[in-house]
Amino acid sequence: MSQTPATGPTPGYRPCVGIMLLNDAGEVFLGRREDQREPAWQMPQGGIDKGEDPRHAARRELREEAGTDRAEIVAEMPGWLDYDLPAEISARKWRGRWRGQSQKWFAMRFTGTDADIRLDSHHPEFVEWRWVAMETVPSLIVPFKRPVYEAVVAAFRHLAGGEGDPES
Protein backbone atom coordinates (compact mmCIF):
# COMPACT_ATOMS: atom_id res chain seq x y z
CA MET A 1 0.00 0.00 0.00
CA SER A 2 1.21 3.47 -0.77
CA GLN A 3 -0.22 6.93 -0.30
CA THR A 4 -0.01 9.45 -3.11
CA PRO A 5 -0.42 13.22 -3.03
CA ALA A 6 -3.81 14.88 -3.26
CA THR A 7 -3.30 15.64 -6.96
CA GLY A 8 -4.93 12.46 -8.20
CA PRO A 9 -4.81 8.70 -8.58
CA THR A 10 -1.62 6.85 -9.42
CA PRO A 11 -1.18 6.08 -13.15
CA GLY A 12 -1.71 2.39 -13.90
CA TYR A 13 -4.17 2.02 -11.03
CA ARG A 14 -7.94 2.13 -11.39
CA PRO A 15 -9.27 5.41 -9.93
CA CYS A 16 -11.77 4.58 -7.18
CA VAL A 17 -13.48 5.90 -4.10
CA GLY A 18 -14.03 4.26 -0.76
CA ILE A 19 -16.63 5.11 1.85
CA MET A 20 -16.42 4.60 5.60
CA LEU A 21 -20.09 4.86 6.56
CA LEU A 22 -20.54 5.52 10.29
CA ASN A 23 -23.72 5.16 12.31
CA ASP A 24 -24.59 7.22 15.40
CA ALA A 25 -22.77 4.72 17.63
CA GLY A 26 -19.56 5.24 15.62
CA GLU A 27 -19.75 1.76 14.09
CA VAL A 28 -18.73 1.11 10.47
CA PHE A 29 -20.88 -0.43 7.73
CA LEU A 30 -19.35 -3.55 6.16
CA GLY A 31 -20.83 -5.62 3.36
CA ARG A 32 -19.97 -9.22 2.49
CA ARG A 33 -19.18 -9.55 -1.21
CA GLU A 34 -21.42 -11.83 -3.23
CA ASP A 35 -18.72 -12.84 -5.72
CA GLN A 36 -16.34 -14.57 -3.28
CA ARG A 37 -16.36 -18.16 -2.04
CA GLU A 38 -14.75 -17.26 1.27
CA PRO A 39 -16.39 -14.50 3.32
CA ALA A 40 -14.94 -11.21 2.04
CA TRP A 41 -16.08 -8.11 3.93
CA GLN A 42 -15.41 -4.57 2.80
CA MET A 43 -16.63 -1.01 2.99
CA PRO A 44 -18.44 0.36 -0.08
CA GLN A 45 -15.99 1.23 -2.82
CA GLY A 46 -15.96 1.49 -6.58
CA GLY A 47 -14.67 3.12 -9.72
CA ILE A 48 -14.81 6.78 -10.58
CA ASP A 49 -16.46 7.31 -13.97
CA LYS A 50 -14.60 9.37 -16.57
CA GLY A 51 -15.10 13.06 -15.77
CA GLU A 52 -16.79 12.29 -12.44
CA ASP A 53 -15.85 14.16 -9.27
CA PRO A 54 -14.70 11.81 -6.45
CA ARG A 55 -17.34 13.20 -4.04
CA HIS A 56 -20.08 12.49 -6.57
CA ALA A 57 -18.63 9.01 -7.15
CA ALA A 58 -18.68 8.33 -3.40
CA ARG A 59 -22.35 9.25 -3.14
CA ARG A 60 -23.19 7.16 -6.22
CA GLU A 61 -21.25 4.14 -4.96
CA LEU A 62 -23.00 4.33 -1.59
CA ARG A 63 -26.39 4.32 -3.35
CA GLU A 64 -25.36 1.43 -5.60
CA GLU A 65 -23.76 -0.78 -2.95
CA ALA A 66 -25.71 0.03 0.22
CA GLY A 67 -28.93 1.16 -1.45
CA THR A 68 -29.09 4.43 0.45
CA ASP A 69 -28.22 8.06 0.03
CA ARG A 70 -28.99 8.85 3.67
CA ALA A 71 -25.50 10.08 4.58
CA GLU A 72 -23.42 13.22 4.65
CA ILE A 73 -19.70 13.52 4.01
CA VAL A 74 -17.91 14.49 7.23
CA ALA A 75 -14.25 13.93 6.26
CA GLU A 76 -12.01 13.23 3.29
CA MET A 77 -8.51 11.76 3.24
CA PRO A 78 -6.12 14.28 1.70
CA GLY A 79 -4.31 11.82 -0.59
CA TRP A 80 -5.02 8.61 -2.47
CA LEU A 81 -4.33 5.10 -1.16
CA ASP A 82 -3.11 2.44 -3.58
CA TYR A 83 -3.12 -1.32 -3.38
CA ASP A 84 -2.09 -4.01 -5.84
CA LEU A 85 -4.67 -6.59 -6.81
CA PRO A 86 -3.40 -10.18 -6.74
CA ALA A 87 -2.41 -11.17 -10.30
CA GLU A 88 -5.05 -13.92 -10.60
CA ILE A 89 -7.83 -11.47 -9.69
CA SER A 90 -6.50 -8.66 -11.88
CA ALA A 91 -6.20 -10.95 -14.91
CA ARG A 92 -9.76 -12.21 -14.44
CA LYS A 93 -11.39 -8.91 -13.54
CA TRP A 94 -9.55 -6.33 -15.66
CA ARG A 95 -7.50 -8.48 -18.08
CA GLY A 96 -4.34 -6.83 -16.77
CA ARG A 97 -5.48 -3.28 -17.61
CA TRP A 98 -4.96 -2.09 -14.03
CA ARG A 99 -2.29 -3.07 -11.52
CA GLY A 100 -4.64 -2.34 -8.64
CA GLN A 101 -6.75 0.48 -7.28
CA SER A 102 -5.95 4.06 -6.32
CA GLN A 103 -8.63 5.16 -3.87
CA LYS A 104 -9.87 8.49 -2.51
CA TRP A 105 -11.54 7.79 0.85
CA PHE A 106 -14.47 9.61 2.45
CA ALA A 107 -16.05 9.26 5.88
CA MET A 108 -19.83 9.65 5.85
CA ARG A 109 -22.23 9.89 8.77
CA PHE A 110 -25.34 7.74 8.22
CA THR A 111 -28.48 9.83 8.73
CA GLY A 112 -31.06 7.13 8.14
CA THR A 113 -32.22 3.98 9.87
CA ASP A 114 -31.15 0.40 9.20
CA ALA A 115 -34.34 0.00 7.13
CA ASP A 116 -32.92 2.55 4.66
CA ILE A 117 -30.11 0.15 3.71
CA ARG A 118 -31.28 -1.91 0.74
CA LEU A 119 -28.77 -4.31 -0.77
CA ASP A 120 -31.32 -5.24 -3.45
CA SER A 121 -31.78 -1.73 -4.85
CA HIS A 122 -29.12 -2.05 -7.57
CA HIS A 123 -27.01 -4.85 -9.06
CA PRO A 124 -26.15 -6.50 -5.72
CA GLU A 125 -22.49 -6.60 -4.73
CA PHE A 126 -23.14 -7.52 -1.10
CA VAL A 127 -25.20 -10.45 0.17
CA GLU A 128 -25.30 -9.24 3.76
CA TRP A 129 -24.16 -6.31 5.87
CA ARG A 130 -23.48 -5.36 9.46
CA TRP A 131 -22.23 -2.57 11.71
CA VAL A 132 -18.85 -3.26 13.37
CA ALA A 133 -16.54 -1.41 15.73
CA MET A 134 -14.05 0.65 13.73
CA GLU A 135 -11.00 -0.96 15.35
CA THR A 136 -12.10 -4.44 14.20
CA VAL A 137 -12.54 -3.48 10.53
CA PRO A 138 -9.00 -4.31 9.29
CA SER A 139 -9.11 -7.81 10.80
CA LEU A 140 -12.21 -8.65 8.72
CA ILE A 141 -10.75 -7.55 5.37
CA VAL A 142 -8.93 -9.68 2.78
CA PRO A 143 -5.17 -9.47 3.39
CA PHE A 144 -4.25 -7.57 0.20
CA LYS A 145 -6.57 -4.67 1.17
CA ARG A 146 -5.73 -4.67 4.88
CA PRO A 147 -2.97 -1.97 4.81
CA VAL A 148 -5.38 0.45 3.09
CA TYR A 149 -8.07 -0.26 5.67
CA GLU A 150 -5.59 0.25 8.50
CA ALA A 151 -4.69 3.67 7.04
CA VAL A 152 -8.38 4.59 6.66
CA VAL A 153 -9.12 3.60 10.26
CA ALA A 154 -6.14 5.65 11.45
CA ALA A 155 -7.29 8.69 9.44
CA PHE A 156 -10.90 8.54 10.59
CA ARG A 157 -10.46 7.14 14.12
CA HIS A 158 -11.49 10.49 15.63
CA LEU A 159 -14.95 10.06 14.09
CA ALA A 160 -15.82 6.88 15.98
CA GLY A 161 -17.15 8.76 19.00
CA GLY A 162 -20.71 8.29 17.81
CA GLU A 163 -23.80 10.16 18.93
CA GLY A 164 -24.08 11.80 15.52
CA ASP A 165 -21.32 14.32 16.26
CA PRO A 166 -18.47 13.99 13.75
CA GLU A 167 -16.06 15.63 16.18
CA SER A 168 -16.93 13.59 19.28
- For residue 7, the domain's CATH number is 3.90.79.10
- The pLDDT of residue 79 is 93
Does residue 23 form part of some domain?
yes
Outline where 2-145 has alpha helix (H). Answer: 54-66, 87-94
- The pLDDT of residue 154 is 97
- The pLDDT of residue 90 is 73
Does residue 38 form part of some domain?
yes
Predicted TM-score (pTM) of this structure: 0.90
pLDDT digits (tens, 9 = 90+) for 75-128: 999 999 999 988 777 777 777 788 899 999 999 999 999 999 999 877 778 999
| 34, 66 contact by CB (below 8 A) | no
- The pLDDT of residue 84 is 93
Does residue 25 form part of some domain?
yes
pLDDT digits (tens, 9 = 90+) for 65-83: 999 999 999 999 999 999 9
Does residue 168 form part of some domain?
no
Total domain count, the chain: 1
Return mean pLDDT, the chain. Answer: 89
Band (61; pLDDT cuts 50, 70, 90) = very high
- The pLDDT of residue 104 is 98
Range of the domain at 122: 2-159
Interatomic CA distance for residues 122 and 124, integer angstroms:
6
| 138, 150 contact by CB (below 8 A) | yes
Does residue 84 form part of some domain?
yes
Output DSSP code: residue 117.
-
Does the pLDDT at position 166 exceed 50?
no
First to last CA, the chain: 29
- The pLDDT of residue 33 is 87
Q: State mean pLDDT over 41-48.
A: 96
Does residue 167 form part of some domain?
no
Does residue 165 form part of some domain?
no
Does residue 61 form part of some domain?
yes
